[in-house]
Amino acid sequence: MVSLGDTLDWPFFEAHHRDFAEKLAAWADTTLPGLPHDDVDAACRARVKALGEAGFLRAAVPAAHGGLHAALDVRTLCLAREILAARDGLADFTFAMQGLGTGSISIAGSDAMRLRILPGVRDGKRIAAFALSEKEAGSDVAAMATTATPDGNAHIRIDGEKTWISNGGIADHYVVFARSGEAPGARGLSAYLVEADTPGLSIAERIDVIAPHPLATLRFDACRIPLENRIGGPGDGFKVAMATLDIFRSTVGAAALGFARRALHETVSHASSRKLFGGTLGDLQLSQAAIADSAAEVDAAALLVYRAAWTKDRGAARVTREAALAKLVATENAQRVIDRAVQIHGGLGVTRGVKVEELYREIRALRIYEGASEVQKIVIARDLLKNTDGQNKGKI
């Protein structure tokens, strides 16, 4: 089976990371093939349950609530996503969403909210979701139109629509961002925990995508929730969203890395066994060039992903630029690595049921969700431009 190569020997990792990665890889190889694959809702529920029962979702919550580390350990999250993505896209998806759909609560939620929500997520008994995007506020988060207005002294009322919401339709709760109006733009948003069975919240439509997973448009129609369900202070929503994405963007890079590593593995095995022109595909120098380009792009992505994760874990308050670099490079590289894998496989590469065909569909959304590549470029360039010393941070 596909391996992480020598990644775990790199100085970014500690013994507990190696232990976690070995256990997860062994579990995934034996358990994932036996889980249902056909109906995406059932497949996701089964994966959340299995990951929770095996204890791996402890990586997605802080130690105070039964998690593995005091704060979310980004290297552990990245290893998990890389290992799962290399084997089973939906397993990666379900793992990631348990983290993304509670990251804001772990960072900024009240103790009571954490106590209420995190244990179920950790055990795979509660499915989490993150509801930020709207039809006209995907990249431009500050333009969101969903409103949160006071309703008496102890409640707020949410009205509007969120779309492309992963786990929409199967989640038990949504972390919802809405315009609460303290100020114009980014400073006037707040985050709220909304339970899926709250009156006024409905699934307006399910969305079918090229790599199927639960995705929906949510409608909020006078959806009344208690004020204590606010995550963070009034007007803190944009910062809560960005701080959550600072953690999870590196993990999207890690998932892309897992898909790319699997594609490279499939490429090498196919090139060494496929016979043509009196030898193997791998004897041809053009195939060797493709393999070399992919190997270089996989390693470059891995270094950026684990650099960003390590920087966050050792206490950096913000890793916005590092995480953006990791996501941008890992997802764009993975798209090219997988495209080469399809090309090397020839007709098989576009045949349903062949792994590289599945990877070709799986990778595409990662260059769009949690900040499209273009957004990552804006984030990286702005960071360098605002801090002209940014390129010379070191002392030497």
Residues carrying an active site annotation = 370
CA angle (311 as vertex; 309, 317 as ends), nearest 5: 110
Binders of ligand COS in range 173-232 (CB under 6 A): 186-187
Strands 128-131 and 173-179, how do they pair? Answer: parallel
Distance CA 243, CA 312 (A): 11
What's the closest the beta carbon of residue 211 comes to ligand COS, in angstroms?
A: 15
Tokens standing for residue 144: 């969101």
Is residue 238 near ligand COS by the rule CB under 6 A? yes
What's the closest the beta carbon of residue 144 comes to ligand COS, in angstroms?
A: 10
What's the closest the beta carbon of residue 194 comes to ligand COS, in angstroms?
A: 16
Binders of ligand COS in range 16-55 (CB under 6 A): none
266 to 305: interface string for ligand COS, x by CB under 6 A: ----------------------------------------
Is residue 139 near ligand COS by the rule CB under 6 A? yes
CA quadruple 257, 263, 267, 270: dihedral sign: positive
Is residue 239 near ligand COS by the rule CB under 6 A? yes
CA-to-CA separations, 394 to 126, 261, 380, 389, 391, in angstroms, rounded: 44, 32, 18, 10, 8
What's the closest the beta carbon of residue 335 comes to ligand COS, in angstroms?
A: 18
Cα radius of gyration (the chain): 21
Phi and psi at residue 208, to the nearest 5°: -95, 130
Q: Segment near ligand COS (CB under 6 A), from 39-47, 217-225, 241-249, 254-262?
A: 241-249
Distance CA 378, CA 134 (A): 20
What's the closest the beta carbon of residue 105 comes to ligand COS, in angstroms?
A: 16
Smaller CB separation from ligand COS, 206 or 224: 206
Binders of ligand COS in range 362-381 (CB under 6 A): 369-371, 375, 378-379
171-194 CB burial, b ≥16 within 10 A, e <16: bbbbbbbbbbeeeeebebbbbbbb
Among 59, 132, 196, 260, binds ligand COS (CB under 6 A): 132
Chain residues in the site for ligand COS (CB under 6 A): 132-133, 138-142, 186-187, 238-239, 242-243, 245-246, 318, 320, 369-371, 375, 378-379
